[in-house]
Amino acid sequence: MSQSIQDFIATIGIVDVHEHHIPEILLNREVNLIQLFQQSYAGWTQARPYPLPSESRDSDPMLAVAGPTTWDALAPFLENSGSSSFVRNLVRAVTELHGNGEPAITRQNWEALDASVRQKHQQPNWCAEILRRAGIERLITDPYSDPLLDASLALGKNYSSVVRINSFACGWHPDSVDHNGNSAHVLLKRLGLEPASFDDYLAALEKLVDAMPSNHQVALKNALAYDRDVAFGDPDEKTARRAWGNPSPSSAERKAFGDFVVDRFCRLAGERDIPMQMHLGTGIIRGSHPMNVAGLVERHPRSRFLLMHLAYPWSRDLLGMAFVYRNIWIDLTWSLLLSPSHFKLALHEAIEILPDESRMMIGGDNWHVEETYGTMKLARQLIGEVLEEKLAAKYFSEADARRLAKRILRDNAVKFFKLA
């Protein structure tokens, strides 16, 4: 019996609800082994790519130019951070796709692996071939280097994208930018919109949302947990208006502006039945607890919220919220990469507590297709193991387990994002 549920899961075509596949990485033909490490979650073991409020940075280390691969450049990942789940996932994928599935990258094999990475990425169909081998049918990407990107045009017909709203929540002044360096005013100008007042700005946001379907954009994405806390308070229009046009509003005015814009996006999304994907957990960790968004979720009962990453490390709090608020769905993305063992524990509980089987979806959250390949292989394995354990405990039948597996990996995403 245990063999058959894993075999069944291996046949499911995945609808991947979250990647960071962007043209400057995915279409780049000059890729080497060290780049796969730098531009992946393994890279986060060396440099967190977002600053805390107490820090600043000149540029995103993930998008910095990487030098040639050397053993000295690889060693910090493989020897100092070799126990990290992020590193384990990438090593497994790289050795499987570019070597013979050997268990480690070593002084002996790194040059051959690097040569294969460089040679394979020269082939224009390499990325599509790896996604096919990963069994991924469709992907939704968050192209934060260009939040307005039409990914279907830029990356291929099997892609849709989300519109990251961070810059708009920080758009009180033409010079204000979000943590990715994006300016709302620059983005709106590309749509032919140049708001001269706060009211113009709100009208422009509505036009932006209305333009989404024609750009293959299937959801809004709130990643403000990397810019500020996620305690999106009741709209305070008076204070929000005071931020408008000011290059350095007070922190209360900045917060009120962001709160107001986020609230407006949630309302617009609800009216149009467009989902709102939201990063929770880690990020600016002092403010990213999932309970901080309870007010926003309550104020917008018609809006469908897809809350991400099991809000690690607060997965139990998130599942409790998803039990209470029926406009919450769970994006399991990243949680399985952060900690495979915690993911299994949380998935057991999620299966038991969620009100219906539509609630869970899966994504890769990666930059290069090698990492995506490894993540999806890990996702199939871990979901299979949890379902095997549920079957061994006679929790439900094999038919129940198969139906749920297909829903998590594929069917729920098709329905939720209206991809059919």
Of these, 259, 331, 365, 411, which contacts Zn ion (CB under 5 A)?
365
Stretch that binds Zn ion, among 146-154, 227-235, 348-356, 364-372 (CB under 5 A): 364-372
Q: How far is the CB of 142 from Zn ion (least distance, A)?
A: 6
Q: How far is the CB of 20 from Zn ion (least distance, A)?
A: 6
Q: Decide whether 183 or 366 has the Cβ nearer to Zn ion.
A: 366
DSSP structure class, residue 13:
P
Q: Decide whether 259 or 331 has the Cβ nearer to Zn ion.
A: 331
Q: Decide whether 114 or 365 has the Cβ nearer to Zn ion.
A: 365
Q: Decide whether 227 or 365 has the Cβ nearer to Zn ion.
A: 365
- The tokens of 298 are what? 């309550």
| 156-174 b/e (C-beta count within 10 Å ≥ 16 → b) | eebbbbbbbbbbbbbbbbb
CA 17/CA 109 separation, integer angstroms:
34
**In this chain, which residue has its C-beta nearest to Zn ion?**
365
Q: How far is the CB of 35 from Zn ion (least distance, A)?
A: 18
Stretch that binds Zn ion, among 228-236, 291-299, 362-370, 377-385 (CB under 5 A): 362-370
Q: Three-class SS of residue 404?
A: helix
Q: How far is the CB of 165 from Zn ion (least distance, A)?
A: 14
For residue 195, count other CB atoms closer than 10 A to its CB: 19
Q: Does 331 bind Zn ion (CB under 5 A)?
A: no
CA 195/CA 418 separation, integer angstroms:
32
223 to 8, 56, 84, 166, 284: CA distances (angstroms): 34, 18, 24, 6, 11
Reported in sequence order, the residue ranges of 230-317 that DSSP labels E, i.e. its strands, are 276-278, 305-308
Q: How far is the CB of 340 from Zn ion (least distance, A)?
A: 18
Q: How far is the CB of 333 from Zn ion (least distance, A)?
A: 7
* Closest among 237, 361, 223, 363 to 293, alpha carbons compared: 223
Q: Are 371 and 36 in contact (CB under 8 A)?
A: yes
Q: Decide whether 178 or 365 has the Cβ nearer to Zn ion.
A: 365
Beta 136-141 vs 14-19: how paired, if at all?
Answer: parallel
Q: Decide whether 253 or 365 has the Cβ nearer to Zn ion.
A: 365
Stretch that binds Zn ion, among 58-66, 81-89, 231-239, 359-367 (CB under 5 A): 359-367
Instruction: Give how many residues touch Zn ion by CB under 5 A.
Output: 1
Q: Decide whether 209 or 225 has the Cβ nearer to Zn ion.
A: 225
Stretch that binds Zn ion, among 82-90, 184-192, 312-320, 361-369 (CB under 5 A): 361-369
CA 266/CA 302 separation, integer angstroms:
9
Stretch that binds Zn ion, among 90-98, 247-255, 324-332, 363-371 (CB under 5 A): 363-371
Q: Are 147 and 23 in contact (CB under 8 A)?
A: no
Footprint of Zn ion on this chain (CB under 5 A)? 365
